Structure 1
Amino acid sequence: MAKIRSLFSTPLYHARLADHGDVDAAELEASCFSIAEDDEAGQEWCEAQGYPGYTSYASLTDLPWRFPIFADLVKVIDRHVAAFVKELDFDLGEKEIVLEDIWINILPPGGTHSSHIHPHSVISGTTYVAMPKGASALKLEDPRLQMMMAAPARKKDAREALKPFIYVQPEVSDILLWESWLRHEVPMNMADEEERVSVSFNYKWGD
């Protein structure tokens, strides 16, 4: 009898921040907007790059040192990443998976974040601070897609493991983690007036 096996898993970790510790959600949201308002270098970078809304990615590299709420957040994220890494069966040797960078994203209505990967990291992820009605899902792309040159399209009701794209609709205080080679994007924010706010991060294999 024929046997079909599913190989080469693409894991996605989806949990609540509170599963591994407490973070004041209201303070985190207020801090994101306050930082964005004061970060002139970040605002200038976004304008120069045509980036919709605001990101601290290119301007503030020490959020956990500057702001206690981010130090608290990193402690909780560290625990989630450790749980995910354990499930991935990495052979880490004497090194650890450690935080590389963390940044704020504020996406206005109509804003998008195009498809990309994080090539110099091991684990990437996002936790969600404000998700108004109509806010974008996270779109994940099957990493094999570019090699399916002559393959027909999948059926609309295809099993999740066979779909070319997966849309994950997170809620406030959710955390998503994935391996950094996984291509992803944020489609257009369809909220009427409010911004979609998240905090993203990368983890590397430590020195």
Structure 2
Amino acid sequence: MYEPEVRQRDRVAAHLFGRNLACANIRAHPVESGAQTGRVPMRGSTGPNKPSGRTAVVQPSCVAPMRAASGSIVIDERPDKRVVQPAMNVSTPDIVRLFPTFVWCRRLEQACYEPLDRDLMAYVDTLIRSGCGTRTGSAWQSAHRQHERPEFSVLIAHIERAARDVLAFLKVADAPFHITGCWVNVLDPGGTHAMHSHPNNYLSGVYYLRSQAGADTINFHDPRPQTTVIRPPVTELTAYNTDQVVLPVSEGTLLVFPAWLPHSVSANTSAHARVSVSFNIMFSDYDTTMSPPLWGN
């Protein structure tokens, strides 16, 4: 099981922005199981979010089952404070986590990812030497149809399996999907990637081909803009008051997350390039299978 890095000074309960963060196979470790931890850095900006239009009913244990008051009396016997008070039978309060945001995380077995990474890196080197792709400063990106290349067939199989697992976890009805884009990112030393999201898709993700100390994290940003209205000082950063979570990654790591979740990459402070493969996933024939009204004929 892949476990994110934990630092004692900035340990955080396993939630993104008061929402659950699930790491490892989502079927074996559902969001509600609690439990992984990430690193929480300095505050940053937030990105947009839109309501889904669907409402869930939550019945916290702190209100069910209800218990009747005892009716007994407690008397304070101090001479100056002879006060008669009803005894209170109070249950332990619950923190109800609403609308969890997930990041699905799996690390391939070493025997699987090492030959896969070796073959893909040889292909990436060929692309760069041939002058393909786009370079902007310290960053290089390939064209975005790499999922159609035979060199990517093994990785695409892993991505599609991950997407099926995520949709099953989200209880999405059996719905065909397809990869709408897949491209290679190379960040040379000093290279960064500003905060962004991937509109017009349902899921996004990234697979790491080369990742070393100094180039081994991804930042996720709170998608709720209203949380920036009031920012009181805090004594400690937790999942409930931070606006950025840093997730450590390594070679062979595959992440899948909502396409609307803002994310960024900090500067590569290592001496080598950071190489990853990004992808987007959308439902097939969305306009005809999901867009029409759900009532009547």
TM norm structure 2: 0.59
The verdict on how the C-alpha distance between 1:153 and 1:166 changes in structure 2, with shifts beyond 3 A counting, is farther
Listed as ranges, the matches of 1:21-170 within 5 Å are 24-40=116-132, 42-43=133-134, 46=135, 50=136, 52-56=138-142, 60-66=143-149, 68-91=150-173, 95-158=175-238, 160=239, 162-170=241-249
- Partner secondary structure for residue 114 of structure 1: strand
**Does structure 1 residue 206 correspond to structure 2 residue 284?**
yes
Structure 2: 5+ residue runs without aligned partners? 1-90, 286-297
8 Å CA contact 1:116–1:185 kept in 2: the answer is: yes
Query: How high is the sequence identity, in percent, across the aligned residues?
Result: 27
Paired with 1:80 and 1:147, the residues of 2 have a C-alpha distance of 31
- The offset of 1:157, in angstroms, is 4.2
**Does structure 1 residue 4 correspond to structure 2 residue 95?**
yes
The verdict on how the C-alpha distance between 1:106 and 1:137 changes in structure 2, with shifts beyond 3 A counting, is same
- The offset of 1:202, in angstroms, is 0.2
Q: CA RMSD in A?
A: 2.2
Decide which structure has greater helix share: 1
Q: Which has the higher contact order (CA 8 A, sep 6+)?
A: 1
The verdict on how the C-alpha distance between 1:168 and 1:152 changes in structure 2, with shifts beyond 3 A counting, is same
Counting matched residue pairs gives: 192
The verdict on how the C-alpha distance between 1:61 and 1:110 changes in structure 2, with shifts beyond 3 A counting, is closer
Paired with 1:146 and 1:184, the residues of 2 have a C-alpha distance of 18
- Partner secondary structure for residue 30 of structure 1: helix
- Partner secondary structure for residue 24 of structure 1: helix
Paired with 2:211 and 2:267, the residues of 1 have a C-alpha distance of 13
The letter of the residue matching 2:146 is L
- The offset of 1:18, in angstroms, is 4.1
- Partner secondary structure for residue 119 of structure 1: coil
Paired with 1:153 and 1:171, the residues of 2 have a C-alpha distance of 33
TM norm structure 1: 0.83
8 Å CA contact 1:139–1:166 kept in 2: the answer is: yes
Listed as ranges, the matches of 1:170-189 within 5 Å are 170-189=249-268
Q: Which protein shows a greater Rg?
A: 2
Paired with 2:154 and 2:263, the residues of 1 have a C-alpha distance of 27
The verdict on how the C-alpha distance between 1:7 and 1:131 changes in structure 2, with shifts beyond 3 A counting, is same
C-alpha distance after superposition, 1:8-44 (max 9, x if no partner): 100011101349x76622111221222222243x23x
The verdict on how the C-alpha distance between 1:131 and 1:117 changes in structure 2, with shifts beyond 3 A counting, is same
Report which stretch shifted further, 107-116 or 163-172.
163-172
The verdict on how the C-alpha distance between 1:3 and 1:63 changes in structure 2, with shifts beyond 3 A counting, is closer
